[in-house]
Amino acid sequence: MFKNRSEYIGIVEQINNSVIDIFDSFFGINIEFILKIQLSYQLHLAYAKGSFPNFNDYRPLYLNKYGSVSSYFYILKSLFILSLKIFYFKFFVKFSKKHIVFVGNTTHNTLLNDECQNLYLSAFTEKYSPKDRLLLYLDAKNNNEFSDFYLDLFIEWYKILYSLKYSFSKKSLKFFKKYGDSINSHLQSHVGKSFKGIDVFLADQVVEYLVHKNAYRQLLLKLKPSIVQGYCFYENRINAMISAANSLNIKTIEYQHSAISNSHFAYSKWERVDELYLHFPSYFYVWNKSDLLLINDNFVGVCHKPQGKIVGIKHLAPLPTLGEKKRNKLLICLQGIWMPQWLEDFIIKDDNHQWFIRLHPRYPNDKTQLNKLDKLNKKNLYIHEANTSVLEELLKQSIGLITCFSGTALEAYNLGIEVLIYGEEGKSAFNKFIEDGQFTYVFNERILENKLNLLKPLITT
């Protein structure tokens, strides 16, 4: 398996370079960005799990097959009905124009002050009056005037359209077969493994992007915003929204949601920026100077030059004082890769600290190991609480954070909490912080124990 994240990022670059001449062949758009992100994400999961997923049983959501005459009659009827509804809404229903559209996913929402909030967005939404802003969750219904219904009409229309186009496009089918073969050839050469069924999965992701980009573009034409702001710009639907906005010369902003580095597949160096610029935000709101330098190094082409602004970790600002800092409470934030054996051994033997061990919300690959640890029934292990409480609340009540390369290290540091980093990936990601003495690098039980003995919990109310 891969030694580190940089290794699979390099392999993806080699794969893409081997088929670069045919990236423009899919319905007239360059799909290099989508394929790089989707393949990198799957390789990251494989890196975290230690095994490759099997897509042979994958059921496409956007590649419907139409075989019989009756099915073609049905879809033509559906397109006709959808077209009538779209015509009515497009020309006879007025939408309230919005100055800014905020986009995100409900999976990042947090219950705070008895209200469900997306902290990455709510840190900015209050600057705008309700009539000037629209909060649009791309993975759920929003109950926003007619926006949901209008958007659903176009999504269904484009879904049928692109399913038909893909079914009849022998060129597209050959491309994804060739790309899948190239992926597996490189992976077999490097790690002796391959992705089964990866070509169908990637084709489905590309069509999902195309469907949503075109549907979002129609909604933006109705709302006429000046700004579209979100986070995690590389997530397929959020990127579809950013691309749609960029195509209409609408200002696009990404707020940094976690640690970024050259070891992150979405923020490492992009080689063909000018060809792919529609996928990138025109503005990056970053946490600190080093993040800004990274953006300036990795997202600049000959013509395309995004702008960056240091805004700090703003999603921590709305948080109230969250109670008393607990004596000897330590939070471990996992990354989908289980902790080193020496750290697990230390936790099992230790009775002097309260251990809160939290899975990564999108990479819970080490849940089996965590459940095994939980079955020890140690009184100072708080697994359920760590994974059901608000992350920021856990941070504010802890005397220290232990993690590998999680962005929570920067959040903890911003809150004045001691940060302990383990693993070569963590050392690489936060090398400057470690060298400057802002973070402590721990690599065995003795060093960890010595550091914990020095921590003096500050009790606050």
Record the tokens describing residue 182, joined without a space. 């190239």
Contacting residues for 460 by C-beta, under 8 A, at least 6 apart = 321, 324, 325
In whole angstroms, give the CA distance from residue 125 to residue 422.
36
Per-residue pLDDT of 278-333, as tens digits, reads 999 999 999 999 999 999 999 999 999 999 999 999 988 655 554 555 568 999 99
Are residues 302 and 272 located together in one domain of the fold? Answer: yes
End position of a domain, from candidates 288, 316, 344: 316
Is residue 143 included in any domain, yes or no?
no
End position of a domain, from candidates 316, 346, 362: 316
Are residues 243 and 352 located together in one domain of the fold? Answer: no
Contacting residues for 304 by C-beta, under 8 A, at least 6 apart = 273, 274, 277, 280
Mean pLDDT in residue range 247-270: 96
Is residue 89 included in any domain, yes or no?
no
Q: CATH number, domain at 421?
A: 3.40.50.2000
Domain count, the chain: 2
Per-residue pLDDT of 320-364, as tens digits, reads 554 555 568 999 999 888 999 999 999 999 999 999 999 988 777
Is residue 87 included in any domain, yes or no?
no
In whole angstroms, give the CA distance from residue 432 to residue 445.
23
Q: Tell me, what DSSP letter sits at residue 56?
A: T
Are residues 168 and 285 located together in one domain of the fold? Answer: yes
Is residue 323 included in any domain, yes or no?
no
Residues constituting the chain:
461
- pLDDT at residue number 3: 86
Output the CA angle 296-46-419, nearest 5 degrees.
55
92 pLDDT band, cuts 50/70/90, is: confident
Are residues 301 and 408 located together in one domain of the fold? Answer: no
Per-residue pLDDT of 157-205, as tens digits, reads 999 999 888 888 888 888 888 889 989 999 999 889 888 899 999 999 9
DSSP per residue, 185-232? HHHHHHHS---BTHHHHHHHHHHHHHHHHHHHHHHHHHH--SEEEES-
Angle subtended by helix axes 32-49 and 236-247, to nearest 10: 160
Are residues 198 and 221 located together in one domain of the fold? Answer: yes
Give the residue from 68, 89, 57 showing the smallest Cα distance to 153: 89
Q: Which domain holds residue 284?
A: 5-67+152-316
Are residues 257 and 165 located together in one domain of the fold? Answer: yes
- pLDDT at residue number 166: 85
Output the CA angle 110-111-117, nearest 5 degrees.
55
CA distances in angstroms from 116 to 109, 110, 222, 323, listed in the order given: 6, 5, 28, 20
Please determine, for residue 56, whether its predicted confidence score (pLDDT) is greater than 80.
yes
Are residues 169 and 260 located together in one domain of the fold? Answer: yes
Is residue 398 included in any domain, yes or no?
yes
Per-residue pLDDT of 198-232, as tens digits, reads 999 999 999 999 999 999 999 999 999 999 999 99
The model carries a pTM of: 0.89
Strand partners, 339: none
Are residues 356 and 297 located together in one domain of the fold? Answer: no
End position of a domain, from candidates 261, 282, 316: 316
